[in-house]
């Protein structure tokens, strides 16, 4: 069974200026099996975040349906966790309490919350920072804490909306490595949005390339490369360059007047 499925999904938003509706996403069908990591790439404004929001139940599709674990998504889904570019940590809570937030909401007893948060912080290389506050950490460390918080609720499906785009290139590579290892170790299913083509190739089993708005899928690419759990090594493979070139061509980078990616 597919873990997450978009069936002929479309989404339109009311356009305040014209008073009509504007189509953001058109006729998208994507099926992702348990344990698969899939990336969405496409020009800015093509509807990638809108798709993720429909996956989590935050937005409802105008047409079509979304399923998680065979059940139609009709509102926020417990099995799905979101991670965004902004870490959204609460400044007044310690790192440990930020990581345990979802568990607290779920009513998990304090001792268990502390244990889970401690284990995840160690796994995310933040041991010793449990009692620190977000402002005392670097951007990369805060994003690690956000990753630990996302994993704390043990979601089946992770929706990742450019989680590393605000980080410097080297920090980003190290976090990608941690994420990839955790996804592989826990067989999590993930749908990842990125503008970084090599990041998409390094982390994914499959890629979907979207057109400009209204976003549709223009190409599905199977990343037939080893080392999905080791993106630092996968990046070094000779096949990466040609694959990146193919994506650049599909996205018409440098071929048109406008910037396809930014
Ligand atoms: N809540 C909303 N109300 C109205 N329009 C919206 C809403 N959310 C998104 N849109 C519109 O839908 C289109 C797609 O936006 P979306 O954020 O999904 O694109 P994106 O591909 O994620 O962009 P980027 O790569 O720049 O993050 C845009 O034109 C955007 O203005």
30 exposure class (CB count in 10 Å sphere: 0-12, 13-18, 19+): buried
* Domain endpoint, select from 154, 177, 198: 154
46 within ligand 1 shell (Cβ under 6 A)? yes
CATH number at residue 240: 3.40.50.300
Whether ipTM > 0.95 holds is yes
Whether residues 188 and 72 fall in one domain: yes
CA distance 144 to 194: 17
48 within ligand 1 shell (Cβ under 6 A)? yes
CA distance 126 to 149: 12
> Which residue's CA is the closest to the ligand 1 atom numbered 29?
45
pLDDT digits (tens, 9 = 90+) for 198-208: 999 999 999 99
Who wins on pLDDT, 16 or 74? 74
Q: Are 96 and 118 in contact (CB under 8 A)?
A: yes
> How high is the mean pLDDT of the chain?
91
Q: Is residue 84 part of a domain?
A: no
Whether residues 197 and 122 fall in one domain: no
245 within ligand 1 shell (Cβ under 6 A)? no
pLDDT digits (tens, 9 = 90+) for 134-168: 999 998 899 899 989 988 888 999 999 998 888 88
Who wins on pLDDT, 203 or 2? 203
Give residue 213 CA to ligand 1 midpoint distance, Å: 9
Q: Is residue 241 part of a domain?
A: yes
Give residue 24 CA to ligand 1 midpoint distance, Å: 7
189-193 and 37-41 beta bridge pairing: parallel
CA distances (Å), origin 42, targets 5, 112, 200: 19, 41, 11
| 224: CB partners within 8 A, 6+ apart | none
Whether residues 113 and 227 fall in one domain: no
Q: Strand, helix or coil at 63?
A: strand
Predicted local confidence at residue 239, as pLDDT: 97
Whether residues 195 and 238 fall in one domain: yes
CA distance 121 to 110: 16
Domain count, the chain: 2
> Which residue's CA is the closest to the ligand 1 atom numbered 31?
45
> Among residues 157, 150, 145, which one has the least CA distance to residue 56?
157
13 within ligand 1 shell (Cβ under 6 A)? yes
- pLDDT exceeds cutoff 90 at 255: no
pLDDT digits (tens, 9 = 90+) for 180-203: 999 999 899 999 999 999 999 999
Looking at residues 7-27, what average pLDDT do you find? 91
134 lies in which domain range? 89-154
């Amino acid at each position: 069974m597919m873990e997450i499925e978009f069936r002929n999904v479309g989404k339109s938003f009311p356009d305040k200026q014209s008073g009509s509706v504007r189509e953001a996403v058109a006729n998208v069908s994507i099926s992702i099996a348990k344990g698969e990591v899939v990336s969405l790439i496409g020009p800015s404004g093509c509807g990638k975040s809108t798709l993720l929001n429909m996956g989590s139940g935050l937005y409802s599709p105008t047409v079509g349906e979304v399923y998680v674990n065979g059940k139609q998504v009709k509102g926020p889904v417990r099995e799905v966790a979101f991670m965004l570019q902004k870490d959204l940590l609460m400044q007044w809570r310690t790192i440990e309490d930020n990581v345990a937030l979802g568990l607290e909401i779920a009513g998990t007893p304090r001792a268990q919350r502390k244990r889970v948060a401690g284990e995840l912080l160690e796994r995310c290389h933040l041991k010793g920072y449990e009692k620190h506050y977000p402002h005392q950490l670097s951007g990369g460390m805060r994003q690690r804490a956000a990753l630990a918080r996302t994993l704390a609720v043990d979601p089946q499906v992770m929706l990742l909306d450019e989680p590393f785009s605000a980080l410097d290139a080297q920090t980003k590579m190290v976090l990608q490595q941690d994420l990839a290892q955790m996804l592989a170790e826990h067989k999590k299913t993930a749908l990842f949005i990125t503008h970084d083509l090599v990041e998409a190739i390094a982390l994914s089993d499959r890629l979907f390339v979207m057109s400009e708005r209204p976003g549709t899928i223009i190409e599905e690419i199977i990343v037939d490369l080893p080392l999905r759990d080791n993106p630092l090594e996968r990046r070094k493979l000779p096949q990466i360059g040609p694959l990146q070139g193919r994506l650049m061509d599909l996205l018409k980078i440098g071929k048109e007047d406008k910037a396809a990616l930014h």
